[in-house]
Structure 1
Amino acid sequence: MTADASTPGGESPAALLTAASTGRRRRRPLIAAALAAVLAGAGTGAFLLYDPPSLNPEPAVTAQLPPATAKVVRGDLVGEVRATGQVRFSGDRPVKNQLKGVITWVPTRNTGVGRGEKLYAVDDRPVVLLRGTLPAWREFAPGMADGRDVLALEQNLAALGYTGFTVDEEYSEKTAAAVKRWQQALGVPGSGKIELGRVVFVSGPVRVGKAVARPGDPAEPGTEVLRITGATQQVPVEVPVVEGDVAVKGAEVTIVLPDGGKTPGRITAVGANRLDKDGKSVVPVTVRLSDPDGLENVQNTDVVVVLKRTEAKDVLSVPVTALLPADKGGYAVLVAQGRKVRLTPVKTGAFADGRAEISGPGIAEGTRVGVPKL
């Protein structure tokens, strides 16, 4: 005659509290409103069917069973804050050509490009991606003035296995010899010189977001050829300031994908409070996907980021629909004991995810309490 309701469903009356009851400062008016809604709706009819006894003067016992029961559970009460954002690759930026000639090859969308690999081609010769933060701004050749760009080039040559020179800011003859070996491996004449535009420095691995130019297009200095991004997928979201305590750098989150699937993430940045487009105070949060494999095609797709907070640790709790208003204020639950039910006053604590922390006489882990039949 009982139905286990220890885990309320998404459309149950308990769902009325799921989002709203996460804030501790708001829990009292919210639980009262939610209980009123529960008792005014389908749940009321279920409870009224067996007319719970009065709490005065002593908790009463009745043989009339509730329509369903749920177990008192011990564990942490964890609240949720949900925010919607779009999956984006980090660091979107254009790649502009510095050579004069004809575009002969461009990569396809979502292609990953690493150090020493071809980014695109002009006149059937590769433009190569290298690691560095200083943009290439001049030709590399023996006799050039020392500089940080030379240091970055030599660091890349050494990382690619072309050595035999001192890694410093001087473009020596030994540097030129290493460049010749590298050029030959790329299939281009080994001149020992690198014309401006044949290498592009970026700070890390990149992904091709879009090819702007096509093979056969003229290559002119300053012309945009590609749009690239970082290889990291992230979701920027905004969390209401009143829920801002969940916005903690390094905290783990869950990302709900459009197909209902879930993937883990981690908060990598928390910005300063600001006003959103509706004039509400929010906290900007950046979430990085922890396991992005196979999710390249969800870029610019809306997802839900679930941020969690622990409201109470190692407590006894019941579905919020188990709470009944007591005659003299506060709350009570119907404790099912075999074929009898005892209406017992309880003290409430934290509320989270449609559950309420309770304590009181006869309340223990595994105790069954009455709930509406859903």
Structure 2
Amino acid sequence: MNTKRKIAVTGCLWIIGLGVIAVIAIGLLGWFDSDNRLNQEPAAATSSRNTATVTRTDFVKETEVDGTLGFGDVESLPNLSSGIVTWLPEPGSVISFGDVIYKINDEPIILLRGAMPMFRDIDENTSSALDVAQLQTHFFELGLSDTSPVTKSTYDLSADRYVTSITLSQIEQWQESVGADTTGVVKKSQIVFRPKAFRVDAVTARLGQPVNGGSLVNVTETRRIVTVHLDTELSGLVAIGDIVEVELPDGKSVEGTVTYVADVATRIVQGQQQITYLDVVIELLGSGASFDQSPVTVKVEEVIEHEAVAVPIAALLALAEGGYGLEVLNPDNTVKLVGVELGTFHGNQVSISRGVEPGQSVIIP
């Protein structure tokens, strides 16, 4: 009797022990599964959340500076002729190479291309130099000369020594073609050498006025340009050849090319303030309409971080242990919280130097 009861009790305890072990095993399995999915959430919890894609992009900063749209600086054009003014150009007209600038005693003064000013009379016996080479180049372009001036080794007209071959016939043909007296001598007052064509900004003489040298017209560049007085602290912002955006007074925008950046700064005093700036010239690639001496805004873009791995700032999560993290949405719709290292803040984005890669999806809380 006692033996049977002992066996029954022992069997009962064994069954109870198996039940306890099963419960513990189920608990352990649940614990291991939970640890394996640390910081992850099931798909149902992520289906309604906003996400953003991690991108690779340049962070670009836009800086605005003030400029003036016009024809640039106004210059008084020197005149070496004497006599009575018999013809003058209209203000706003463009004088190109070969054109008449004005007439004195009904003799035309002609604009030709050249870097060296006309400083002497030129005839067939004038010694070779840059001024003679400039004149022969013009004759060659007109077809009056079969040869162009050359140095002993190259066609570089900036060199010091030239081989030129201007003839009396060429000079007389040219004088006849422009309506000048065919004297065979090109007087120094008859030609104005300039590196560029120009626009007549203002006429400072009048018809019938006697002149003895002096200036008769003021001239500018032929194209509208934007002039910027760039603060020296921003000197690295632009370089020759850069493309910038110019906002015109009517609100429209056109692109422009930086064609000049001064090497030497200009210093002026305004009231009690000293201002130092660099002159910058921008040529418009589009139409500047009819604006002249008008204020404009020049917008310059500067890359502050190249190929940044970027996410929205709104996706950042402050971690309890310090720093920041992102919730990354995995392809299987589970979510993993990862710590990240922040870089540059730009607008509504921030660059990430460690933690995520372009193409991944992050959750925006």
Contact kept in structure 1, 2:68 and 2:227, CA below 8 Å: yes
From 216, 222, 237, the equivalent of 1:246 is 237
2: CA distance, partners of 1:171 / 1:99? 30
CA RMSD after TM alignment:
4.3
1:255 aligns with 2:246: yes
1:313 aligns with 2:306: yes
User: Runs of 5+ in structure 1 lacking a partner?
Assistant: 1-56
C-alpha distance 220-283 of structure 1, shift in aligned 2 (>3 A) = closer
Deviation at 1:83, TM superposition (A): 1.9
Matched ranges for 1:216-255 at <5 A: 216-231=207-222, 233-239=225-231, 241=233, 243-255=234-246
1:87 aligns with 2:87: no
**2:5 aligns to what?**
none
C-alpha distance 77-85 of structure 1, shift in aligned 2 (>3 A) = same
C-alpha distance 65-335 of structure 1, shift in aligned 2 (>3 A) = farther
Deviation at 1:177, TM superposition (A): 1.5
Contact kept in structure 2, 1:96 and 1:221, CA below 8 Å: no
Contact kept in structure 2, 1:254 and 1:307, CA below 8 Å: yes
- Which entry has the higher C-alpha Rg, 1 or 2? 2
TM norm structure 1: 0.64
1: CA distance, partners of 2:54 / 2:94? 52
C-alpha distance 300-125 of structure 1, shift in aligned 2 (>3 A) = same
2: CA distance, partners of 1:272 / 1:150? 34
2: CA distance, partners of 1:103 / 1:317? 70
Q: Deviations over 1:51-88 (max 9, x none)?
A: xxxxxx9799988989x876543212122332222235
Deviation at 1:302, TM superposition (A): 2.4
1: CA distance, partners of 2:47 / 2:117? 80
SS in 1 for 2:82: coil
Q: Deviations over 1:8-36 (max 9, x none)?
A: xxxxxxxxxxxxxxxxxxxxxxxxxxxxx
**1:177 aligns to what?**
169
Contact kept in structure 2, 1:72 and 1:318, CA below 8 Å: yes
SS in 2 for 1:220: strand
C-alpha distance 246-334 of structure 1, shift in aligned 2 (>3 A) = farther
From 295, 314, 319, the equivalent of 1:302 is 295
From 96, 105, 115, the equivalent of 1:133 is 115
Q: Deviations over 1:262-295 (max 9, x none)?
A: 2132364253567675767866252432625x33
1:162 aligns with 2:154: no
From 116, 119, 127, the equivalent of 2:101 is 119
Moved more, 176-185 or 312-321: 312-321
1:357 aligns with 2:360: no
Contact kept in structure 2, 1:119 and 1:128, CA below 8 Å: yes
Contact kept in structure 2, 1:92 and 1:227, CA below 8 Å: yes
1: CA distance, partners of 2:48 / 2:269? 52
1: CA distance, partners of 2:322 / 2:198? 62
C-alpha distance 360-125 of structure 1, shift in aligned 2 (>3 A) = same
Contact kept in structure 1, 2:254 and 2:284, CA below 8 Å: no
From 195, 199, 210, the equivalent of 2:191 is 199
Deviation at 1:317, TM superposition (A): 1.8
C-alpha distance 250-305 of structure 1, shift in aligned 2 (>3 A) = same
Q: Deviations over 1:113-143 (max 9, x none)?
A: 2221122233444321012233223444566
2: CA distance, partners of 1:320 / 1:272? 42
C-alpha distance 118-112 of structure 1, shift in aligned 2 (>3 A) = same
**2:11 aligns to what?**
none
C-alpha distance 204-317 of structure 1, shift in aligned 2 (>3 A) = same
2: CA distance, partners of 1:290 / 1:193? 42
1: CA distance, partners of 2:345 / 2:268? 28
1: CA distance, partners of 2:210 / 2:348? 61
C-alpha distance 359-133 of structure 1, shift in aligned 2 (>3 A) = closer
AA aligned to 2:302 is: R
2: CA distance, partners of 1:334 / 1:280? 53
User: Runs of 5+ in structure 2 lacking a partner?
Assistant: 1-37, 151-161
Contact kept in structure 1, 2:71 and 2:220, CA below 8 Å: yes
1: CA distance, partners of 2:202 / 2:336? 67
Deviation at 1:89, TM superposition (A): 3.9
Aligned length: 309
1: CA distance, partners of 2:100 / 2:348? 54
